[in-house]
Each structure stands twice: as C-alpha cells, then as structure tokens.
Amino acid sequence: MTRFFGVRHHGPGCARALVAAFDEWNPDCVLVEGPPDANEIIPFVAAAGMVPPIALFVYAADAPKRASFYPMARFSPEWNALRWAVVRGAPIRFCDLPQAHQLGSSERDAADGEAPESEGELESQVGSAERDPLHLDPLGWLSLASGYSDRDGWWDAQIESRRDPGSIFDAVAELMAELRSKQPPAIGREARREAWMRRTIREAEREGHQRIAVVCGAWHVPALAHPIASRKEDEAQLKGLPKCKVVATWVPWTNERLAFASGYGAGVASPAWYAHLWEHPEHAAVRWVSECARLLRASDLEASSANVIEALRLSEALAGLRGRPAVALEELQESVRTALCGGEEAPMMLIHRQLVVGEAMGSVDPSVPAMPLQRDIEARQRAARLKPSPVRARVDLDLREDGGRGRSRLFHQLGLLGIGWATPETTAGALGSFREAWSLQWDPELALKIVEASIWGATVESASFAKVIHDASVATELGDVVSLLQSVLLADLVDAVDPVLARVQVLSSHTADVDVLAKALPPLAQLLRYGDVRDTPVERVTPMFDELVERVFVALPLACTAIDDASARLRLGAMRRIGDAIATASREGQRESWLAVLGELARLPGAVPLIRGHATRLLEDARVLQPAELLHLASYNLSPAAEPADAAAWTEGLLQGGAATLLHQDALWSTLDAWLAALHDDTFVELLPALRRAFSSFAGPERARMAQKVKALGRPEARPKAALAELNPERARQILPVLATILGVPLPESA
C-alpha cells in the first residue's frame, strides 16, 4: 500500500502530523520529494553535528554555477521524514527528477533567464519553470481568498498551529485534487518531475515494500495518487533526457534565506515563528509574546509583564472579532505593536528580524563529504577564531599583531577567490595603515562560490595563488593588474608578487595611454610608502614605479595637445593622480622632474588652455612660481587677443581645487578683473557657464573670501594698514612663549 503525505515545505504542523502518522503506520519505505542524486548523503541527517537550517546542495560537476539548493529547517516535514527513516533504518530515497537531468537541460536556462534574481541559480523545490501564480503558491491564494492579509494565514490557522492535526493529509489531498481539477494538466518540466516520481513509486512497489510513504509537496499528490499517465507514457516522457554529472552535499543555511524576503519561491515568511511553534506546541502564543517582551527589555525598551498579558488578551479578542479559530502570528504582531510597543513601528522591526524571521544559522557535521577547499576555509576560520554568522559584524584588525595580520591575510585571499565573506570598510578617524576594518557576513550561497573556487586549488593559499596567476595572465588592462598586485601584496601571496609585477611591466610597456598609466601610479605609490607594515617585498616595486613615472613624464605633454574638452578633463584627473602619487612615494628627484614637466605644460603653446591653467595652478601650489611669473602667465593667457573661451578655460584650470593660495595674489586678481571688465557683453554672457563652473567647486566660505577680495581690489592697502596701527607690542609679546612651544623653537632672549 502506498500512502501520500502532501505537505507544505517548511510547515511545522505538517511535520508534526507526519511524524505522528509515521510512528503509527510504521512505513517500510519512505520516498521524499528531492533530488535522487543526493540519495548517498541522506544517512548524514542522523549525524550529531547536523544542525538545521541546512540545505542539500546539488551542482553540476563541470559547471558549479549551475546548482540547486534544497533548504531544510528543523520543522520541515522532509527533514523529519529523512531523520525518521534513517534513525529507524527504513529504506529511504528521494523521488524527484534527478538534478543530473535538470541541470543539464536547456529549458532550465530559459527559466533562469526570466528569473528576476540574477544570481539565482537558486531554485525552489516547487520549481521555477511553472510561472502560473496559482500554481506557484496555491495555498497562498487560498489564504488571501479566505480574508487573511498574508499568504500563510489560512494554512497556519488550519494546519500549522494545530497541536493535534490528526489526519490532515487526506483532507489536503482532497483540497489539492479540487484545486488541480480546474488547472490544465502539467506540462514540460513539471510533467517530467511527476512522471519520475511515479516511476520511483512503481519501482518501490515492485521491490515488494508493503507500506510506502510518499512525502511530497501537496500540489503533487493528486497526480501521484491517481496517476493520470500509464507507466508506458511516463517512460516515454522520461526518454532521452539530457544528462550531466552532478555532485551533492550538505551546506549550512540560514533563517533569513528560508524567508520569502530573499526571493526564494517555496520559502516561509516567518521561519523563527515556525521554529517556535515546532519547539513549543504548548502555549506558543504566550511564550512568543514573552520572548518579544524579553527582546524589548534587552534593547532597553520598556515591556512590563502586565502589558504582555494585555497583548495576549488583545490578540485573543482580535482573533475572536475576525472569526479565526486560534490566534495567529498576524494577531500577535498587531497586539504586541499596540499594547507593548506604543503603536510604534521601529521596535516591531527588531521583533521581525529576530523573532519572526530569526538569525539562526545551521551547521553541517564534519563527516559530510565536502570540497577540500571548504575544509581548509573552516580550518582557517577556526585558526582565526572567527565563526561564520549570518549577522553582519564589524571586525577591527591591528596589523601590527600576528593575529590581525593572519586574519587580514585570510580575508584578502578569500576576496581574491571571490568568496565575499568579509568586505573591507573604511576606517574612519584611524590614522596610519596598520588598521583595517572589515564587515563579516556569511551568506549560505557562498557555498556555491567555494565550489567554484575549488577548481583553483585545495587550500585557500594555493587556490588564491593559482587564481591570481591566471587572472594576471589574462588581464589586458594595466589598471586591473595593478589593483591585482595591490591585492596580492595585501593577501601576502609572496610568490605571486614577481609574476604579477612582470605582468605589470609587460602591460605598461604596451600602454601609451597616460590616463591608464596615471591610474596605476597611486596604488604603487601607496605600496612604496606604507607597504612595509606587512613586511612585504616592496623593494621590487620601486624600479617599476620609477619606470612608470618616467614614461608618464615623457607622454604627458604630448597627451595634452590637440585634445577635446572631455579628454582634457580626464587629463586633469591624471595630473592630480600623478602629483599625489609622486608626493606619496617621495622618491628622490621625482618632484623636481614633475615640476619641470608642469612648467613645460604651463607654457606649452599647443597644450589646451584648461591644462595650461591647471599646470600653472599646481606650480603655484608647489610655490615654485614667482608672483611676477604668475602674473606674466595670466596676462598672456588673458590678453585681449586670446579667444575668450580659451581664456575662460584657462581660468577654470587655474582655479580647480581651492583658491586659498591664490587669494593673496593681488596682481593676478587685478588681471582677471581687467580681463573680465574688458569682455564684450555678449561674450560675457557666452562665457558665463564656463566661469560659473570655474567657481562652482569652491565652498561657501571660500567664495565669500573671494568676494571680499574682489570688493577690496580697488583699494588694496586700506585694510592691512588700519590693523597694523592698532597693534599693541606689549600684548603681542605675551603670546610669544605659547607660539614658541607650538612651533618647537627656542624663544629669543631679547624678545
């Protein structure tokens, strides 16, 4: 005899009823909707270290990107069916269409293509090929139709919240038969899945099992219990399926991933509430509201026992008013909000995060076969004393200590492998390069990334090394390789430094583009200046940096002539980067060479005015320009013969990046003033946008000071004189000791 147990995936009431029914009926063969590719690893469910939520993870051996996850929680009927059978030694197997056939099929690709979540090789047990909304969530629609505001309400009230669900399975089967009778027969992937399930059932019957229990999604029951296709039709249906080699394993999962919010089709909106129902079938509501109160108190919010009682009374009154058989999560949440949280939304978000969805993360027994890389990561995590958790946490590292360096190394190496467990954060306020801040968050789907990264090697170290060498060899952009070099040094992959450096050299010699070369400079300069905290071999970077700088110097003037406005702006960025990099690296003689290049640029007739202006500005900043020279350049560029547009561009270049140093150049301002005043009205209007742009980057106070300056241009000597006249030498002398202390110079005796 074969009995069908139509369940809702992750339904605690279903699971409870299922276990009770199994205990009573004692099936001698259990078939569960799931991938038969994972039959081998079913026995692990009884291992001590298996703590749900965990997921079956099936991926194509040659293309790990194609993968499916089958999550299970403690309260999932499937999980309980598996455990029941394994513990009692009853034969158990999965009966869904093998992933070996699904992952190889092209129909899957089409389905994935239209799936909204792009990273989503993730697929629900219900299946994503069926797009009919009624089919995807029949019970959800039933719930909405019955006047519940959420999709789980009806089922929760009818099935999951029952402490003694009795024989719900017959009723569910009947309900589904009714729902499906209004639907067209299954086609495509779903038809094949159900055909495979029927085939597996027939096999089990042929093997002579007497009491076969089939645990599957409620939707499938009618198609299995009253077969709509004969054995022959099914076999024809299953003929010639594409096939690929797949691997199955168990991976840890999280509550958050179980929830609808993360885009998982057959998910549940409230995993933590279900877990609560599963663990405390008695007084579930009372306990849950008390938990809420405890959580609020732990967050320093007021929550008295009296209000807990009021919240419960309110929830019961609400359920009565709404004609519900029992208090559901919906009523509880509304009551807690009204009676405990003063009607506010913010505390409810806390409750939602921790007590409705939950932050639990499962773990997998070490005996479960896994990729060597996975094991190595676990070992490194243990060594670093960091436990993967789904809750985002911030870690501050001190790179002067061995522990901090070790962790940083691990984070950087994982980052190179694309395993995004740790993401760097900015260290606000911390000076020096010995600090790093990271934000850690384990996402179960990282299992996929680990499998993908496994092709590079068996340990984090060797895999990241191999991947870096590969990435460097295929990279064609200098910028990419330089940032790779930076990561390599940060990840402390000493052996990879030389090959990557060699690649930088090769690419830089092929690159004539000043912008690209300029982009490569700052990271290298950073390494030169600060790299020594980690004892990395930066001395090998030095010759490279020098060479690049030389090449930039040679290429820059040419790259600044005969270019359009957009390129000129790009070049401004490049100039800024070069200047910063040279300042950071502070190599002998480079500053002088750079100033010489700038001097050339400022006077180069062919260079575009914007660049000429900015070069002048950078020279002025470096204080190598005599006031007379500056004035000379200004009057040349702003002379009446110059095109007004060019003159405006020159002004813009000159004023880029703060005007503080220019404020005291009276002569310059007079020249500017004369130029502006001499402009024809029409020309002035024409130039206005360019001029506005030139001044737009200044902060308010700076602009105010400039305005002051302009106002006082006509009578430059008036103000300072007045100030001097009021100087009181006696009082001025009193501040000299303090000034001397600040400046660190001895106070002259006679002063």
Partner 1 sequence: MSDSAVLRLHAEVEFAAELAALSASDDRPRPTGWSLSPWAVRTYVLGGSLPSGMEITPKYIGNARLIEIAIATLVTDRALLLLGVPGTAKSWVSEHLAAAISGDSTMLIQGTAGTDENALRYGWNYARLLAEGPSEAAMVASPMMRAMQTGKIARVEELTRIGSDVQDTLITLLSEKTLPVPELDREVQARRGFNVIATANNRDRGVNELSSALQRRFNVVVLPTPATVDEEVDIVNRRVSALGRALQLPTATAPIDEVRRLVTIFRELRDGATLDGATKLKSPSGSLSTAEAISVLSHGLAVASYYGDGQLRAGDLAAALTGAVIKDPVADRVVWLEYLKTVVKERAGWKDLYRACKDSV
Residue 174 interacts with partner 1 (CB under 8 A): yes or no:
no
Verify binding: residue 360, partner 1, rule CB under 8 A.
Answer: no
Nearer to partner 1, 307 or 526 (CB): 307
Name which of 488, 497, 491, 586 is nearest 541 in CA terms: 497
- Residue 41: phi and psi, rounded to 5, are -100, 10
Among 342, 543, 627, 716, interactor with partner 1 by CB under 8 A: 342
Q: Which two tokens stand for residue 312?
A: 């419960």
Cα distance between residue 621 and residue 657, in whole Å: 10
Q: Which region among 333-341, 429-437, 455-463, 597-605 touches partner 1 (by CB under 8 A)?
A: 333-341
Task: Compute the distance between CA of residue 481 and CA of residue 256 in angstroms, rounded to an integer.
Answer: 37
Cα dihedral value 82, 84, 87, 93, nearest 10:
-30
Q: Tell the smallest beta-carbon distance from residue 282 to partner 1 (Å).
A: 23
Q: Can you tell me whether residue 5 is helix, strand or coil?
A: strand
Question: Which region among 15-23, 337-345, 445-453, 598-606 touches partner 1 (by CB under 8 A)?
Answer: 337-345
Applying CB under 8 A, the span of 315-323, 566-574, 645-653, 740-748 interacting with partner 1 comes to 315-323
Q: Using the rule CB under 8 A, which residue among 89, 184, 208, 343 binds partner 1?
A: 343
When the beta carbons of 275 and 327 are compared against partner 1, the nearer one is: 327
How many residues in the shown chain lie near partner 1 by CB under 8 A?
21
Instruction: Look at residues 312, 269, 270, 271 and name the one whose alpha carbon lies nearest to residue 290.
Output: 312
Tell the smallest beta-carbon distance from residue 324 to partner 1 (Å): 11
Given the complex with partner 1, which of 318 and 496 has the nearer CB atom?
318
* Residues between 102 and 161 that touch partner 1 (CB under 8 A): 149
Among 48, 145, 306, 743, binds partner 1 (CB under 8 A): 306
Distance between CA atoms of residues 53 and 255, nearest Å: 7
The residue assigned the tokens 């090959």 is: 499
Binding-site member from 112, 233, 291, 334 for partner 1 (CB under 8 A): 334
Q: Which stretch binds partner 1 (CB under 8 A): 109-117, 185-193, 302-310, 503-511?
A: 302-310
Residue with structure tokens 């999560």?
329
Backbone angles phi, psi at 744, to 5 degrees: 70, 35
Distances in Å between the Cα of 62 and the Cα atoms of 41, 66, 245 are 20, 9, 7
| Position 297 contacts partner 1 (CB under 8 A) | no
Contacts 24+ apart (CB under 8 A), 392-395: 392/439, 392/440, 392/441, 393/439, 393/440, 393/441, 394/425, 394/437, 394/438, 394/439, 394/440, 395/422, 395/437, 395/438, 395/439, 395/440
Q: By CB under 8 A, name the one of 61, 317, 383, 430 that touches partner 1.
A: 317
SS3 of residue 246 by DSSP: strand
Q: Are 417 and 453 in contact (CB under 8 A)?
A: yes
> Does 318 participate in binding partner 1 (rule CB under 8 A)?
yes
CB closer to partner 1, 102 vs 335: 335
Does position 313 bind partner 1 by CB under 8 A?
Answer: yes
Options 240-248, 310-318, 391-399, 424-432: segment touching partner 1 (CB under 8 A): 310-318
Quote helix, strand, coil % in the chain, to nearest 5.
60, 10, 30
Letter for the amino acid at 657? Answer: G
What does the alpha-carbon distance between residue 117 and residue 261 come to, in Å, rounded to a whole number? 12
Which residue stretches of 561-608 are H helix? 565-585, 590-603
| Amino acid at the residue 117 | E
**Length of the chain (residues):** 751
Smallest distance from partner 1 to CB 320, Å: 8
Site track 191-230 with partner 1 (rule: CB under 8 A), x = hit: ----------------------------------------
Q: CB of residue 160 vs partner 1: minimum separation in angstroms?
A: 21
> CA-CA distance, 445 to 361, in Å (whole number)?
12
**With respect to partner 1, which residue has the nearer C-beta, 78 or 331?**
331
> Which of 292, 333, 288, 293 has its CA nearest to residue 315?
333
Nearer to partner 1, 341 or 559 (CB): 341
Does 299 participate in binding partner 1 (rule CB under 8 A)?
A: no
Q: Smaller CB distance to partner 1: residue 320 or 366?
A: 320
Q: Where are the beta strands (DSSP E) in 137-241?
A: 212-217
- To partner 1, the closest distance from the beta carbon of 272 in angstroms equals 22
Q: Are strands 212-217 and 29-32 parallel, antiparallel or unpaired?
A: parallel
Which residue, 348 or 524, has its beta carbon nearer to partner 1? 348
**3-state SS class at 261:** helix
Let me know: does 457 contact 479? Beta carbons within 8 Å: no
From the list 31-39, 316-324, 556-564, 672-680, the region that binds partner 1 by CB under 8 A is 316-324
Q: Of the candidates 307, 408, 454, 671, which one interacts with partner 1 according to CB under 8 A?
A: 307
Asked if residue 321 binds partner 1 (CB under 8 A), the reply is: yes
Give the shortest CB-310-to-partner 1 separation in angstroms. 6
Using CB under 8 A as the binding rule, whether residue 344 contacts partner 1 is answered as: yes
Could you tell me which of 481, 488, 582 has the C-alpha nearest to residue 536? Answer: 488
Residue 130's SS3 state is coil
Interface with partner 1, residue 532, by CB under 8 A:
no
Residue with tokens 């492998």: 417
| Residue 677 main-chain phi, psi, to 5 deg | -65, -30
Nearest residue (CB) to partner 1, 148 versus 456: 148
Q: Supply the minimum distance, in Å, between the C-beta of residue 335 and partner 1.
A: 8
CB of 301 to partner 1, least distance (A): 10
| 290 near partner 1 (CB under 8 A) | no
Span from 173-181, 201-209, 314-322, 698-706 in contact with partner 1 (CB under 8 A): 314-322
Q: For partner 1, which residue of 302, 495, 498, 565 counts as binding (CB under 8 A)?
A: 302
Q: Under the criterion CB under 8 A, does residue 333 sit at the interface with partner 1? A: no
Q: Which of residues 234-263 bind partner 1 (CB under 8 A)?
A: none
406, 407, 448, 460 from 440: Cα distances, Å: 15, 12, 18, 17
Does position 335 interact with partner 1 (CB under 8 A)? The reply is yes
Task: Say how far apart CA 581 and CA 578 lie, in whole Å.
Answer: 5
Backbone angles phi, psi at 89, to 5 degrees: 75, 20
Backbone angles phi, psi at 30, to 5 degrees: -120, 125
Q: Which is nearer to partner 1, 314 or 419 (CB)?
A: 314
Distance CA 38, CA 96 (A): 11
For partner 1, the binding residues (CB under 8 A) are 149, 302, 304, 306-307, 310, 313-314, 317-318, 320-322, 334-335, 338-339, 341-344
